[in-house]
Structure 1
């Protein structure tokens, strides 16, 4: 039977790249997203559900449908997340902080909460949590995002401890700065705070990366496929950065 893979926030960006990579590897793919237009553009052989990953009721209904239609789940990619506000801590809007943590952390918890019984029953499975290098070293003016992504790592390590005896693995992938609309927006907001332009800040960010390159979504997807495979059968509880080795997350410009 083909590997059954659920990817939250799978209609665009990293999630879509993951879905494409798993599909090309022969897996059955189910994606969720809040963007109905992007979901409608997904390939016809992917299952697609419009669900807010931080909505407890919606996630419960999603997993009930997965149980009914698929009879279980082999791989969970808890990938849903938002960038959140970019501001100094004293200017950070509390509602923006809460929403960022809700999507990034609560969404990961709900996905793992519902996937765990399925995987425990099967005696195998892989949970992959999309964290961030911001969850490893923090990031100036990105307090809610960094806080949530640090917490995702703690969640993953706890899940790995709890589910390991049942044959279920859990790992976190920490992308660096990934090319795409989200990082473009972060660059623009950060550049405005620094009194410079986004292009200049982009080049400064690259100089803070050993390999002098931002990350592609496909780089993250390739790691996800590996971690979900039998080739990684004893890789669990690990935090793996795919970032070209970020030395300085906030270089001066």
Structure 2
């Protein structure tokens, strides 16, 4: 980055653990003021000390009233907004399509897609007043390739790419950049739970499942959370000002999701 990120005002949905927390902490360490939301109150309390000058808010990012309350509080606390990171997401079910109920499908779409719409609609008026405005949407490598037995998740992450590219065109005249980060197999608790679910479905060990998954990754390893966080910092920095409508694959060279 060729310009410091000090004084940036940042909001991160689902920022109390995993990728969201890594991104929030990276911004805070760079000097930004960060406000996060999450559905896990104990995780929010644990995250707060690592976000000096920032704040936390208990909210379900797929709930319109909860998002409205978070933005009202965070925008007042921060005095404006420069960066929105749409990180809220769930893995959804791991099952054959005929075994996935409508409720599980709808929940995956609500958390992974509707949450981003709800946050963007509240963020844009504040971002228009910023000289360094950016929106960073978390998608997945499942947003560019098929993912058998994870169809709700893949469909939602492809939707995030469409949202990102459309918003980049719509908001370009306001100087707001909009990009997506597509993590691969991240070294996180969610990733481990997905591997466990797939192993159970296949009736093999978790280690055997992981070994099989990593055979389709060029670097034969998971992606550290820090690598995803550093990509977000780049996109919010002056070095990233000419990137918009783009999908950044932080995936260690993944070739297939099977």
Q: In the TM superposition, what is the alpha-carbon distance from 1:124 to its structure 2 partner?
A: 4.0
Who is 1:37 aligned against?
42
Which ranges in structure 2 are unaligned for 5 or more consecutive residues?
A: 1-5
TM-score in terms of structure 2 length: 0.94
Who is 1:180 aligned against?
188
Which moves more between the two structures, 238-247 or 1-10?
1-10
Q: How far does the alpha carbon of each residue in 1:14-64 deviate from its partner, in whole angstroms, 9 at most, with x for none? A: 001001110111100111100000001113323000010001011112112
- Are 1:127 and 2:135 matched, yes or no? yes
Who is 1:139 aligned against?
147
Q: In the TM superposition, what is the alpha-carbon distance from 1:67 to its structure 2 partner?
A: 2.8
Who is 2:242 aligned against?
234
Who is 1:248 aligned against?
256
Who is 2:10 aligned against?
5
Who is 1:93 aligned against?
101
Contact 2:48 2:56 in 1 (8 A): no
- Are 1:55 and 2:63 matched, yes or no? yes
Q: In the TM superposition, what is the alpha-carbon distance from 1:121 to its structure 2 partner?
A: 3.0
- What is the root-mean-square deviation in Å for CA atoms of aligned residues? 1.1
TM-score in terms of structure 1 length: 0.96
Structure 1 Cα separation of the partners of residues 19 and 75 of structure 2: 25
1:37 aligns to what SS in structure 2? helix
Q: In the TM superposition, what is the alpha-carbon distance from 1:71 to its structure 2 partner?
A: 2.4
Structure 1 Cα separation of the partners of residues 221 and 204 of structure 2: 20
Contact 1:125 1:169 in 2 (8 A): yes
Structure 1 Cα separation of the partners of residues 132 and 10 of structure 2: 13
Who is 1:76 aligned against?
84
Q: In the TM superposition, what is the alpha-carbon distance from 1:69 to its structure 2 partner?
A: 2.3
